Amino acid sequence: MSGFEAYKIYSALKLHYTQENFDAYKYNFKTRVKPESFERLRFRYTFEKIASRCKTRENLIDFYTSNFITGCNWVMDMNEKNLNDMKSRRESFSYNFKTDINKLSSSHGFNELCSCAGGENILINELCKENIKIETVAMIDLLVNFIKPLLSELNDPLGMKRDKAILAMKYKNSLTDINRKKIKDNLLLMFTKEESMI
C-alpha cells in the first residue's frame, strides 16, 4: 500500500461523506487525483505513514470511515481512537442494536420510526442526541431505505439533523460484515412481538 493509494482512498471517502450524490463504493473508490498532485502535497508523508500503518485496503477504508463518521474530515486530525471505538461498536453490534431498538420499540411503532411527522424523525433525533448508535440507524436504512425520502421533510434550519442523516445513510455502505438477515429477523421479531401484545 503506497501513500498515493492512501491519498486516493481518502479523497474518494471524503467525497463520499461530504457530497450527498457521490458514492465511493459504487465507483470503487476511484477519483480524478493524479500522482503529480499527490507529490505537491506538503503533508504527503502523513499518507505514507497511514499506508504503512494500515497495510491493507480494507484497514485503510475502516480507518478513514471511523474518522469521517465522527466528523473528523481532515487527515492530520484523524486518529486510531476513532477506529478502536468503531471496531468496539461493531463487535458488540447485535447487543447495541437490540438495546437501541428495545428503547425505541417500547414507545414507537416501526413505521413511526421511519417516517417524518411535523418535520421530525425519531431515529435521527435520537441519533443527534447520541441516545442510539449510528450503526443502528445505518442498518435500518440499509434494510428499508428510509433516510433519503425524509431528507426534504426534515425541519432543520441549521442542517445538523440533515448532516447526521446523510452520514448514517452513507455509512451503511461499510456495514458489510454484519449479518443482515439475522438483524432483519430480530427487528421483525421485536416489533411484531410488541404489536401482538396490544
DSSP 156-177: -TTSHHHHHHHHHHHHGGG-TT
The pLDDT assigned to 197 comes to 41
The count of other CB atoms within 10 Å of the CB of residue 69 is 22
H or E element, residue 140: helix 134-144
Q: Are 59 and 84 in contact (CB under 8 A)?
A: no
The pLDDT assigned to 186 comes to 87
Domains 3-85 and 92-197 agree in fold: no
The pLDDT assigned to 38 comes to 95
The domain spans of the chain are: 3-85, 92-197
What class, spelled out in words, does domain 92-197 have in CATH?
Answer: mainly alpha
The amino acid at residue 40 is R
**Using the 8-state DSSP alphabet, how is residue 198 labeled?**
-
The pLDDT assigned to 106 comes to 87
The pLDDT assigned to 193 comes to 66
Consecutive 10-residue runs of the chain (198 residues): their mean pLDDT? Answer: 95 95 94 94 95 95 97 95 96 94 91 93 96 97 95 90 95 91 90 57
What class, spelled out in words, does domain 3-85 have in CATH?
Answer: mainly alpha
The pLDDT assigned to 176 comes to 87
pTM of the predicted model as reported, rounded to 2 decimal places: 0.91
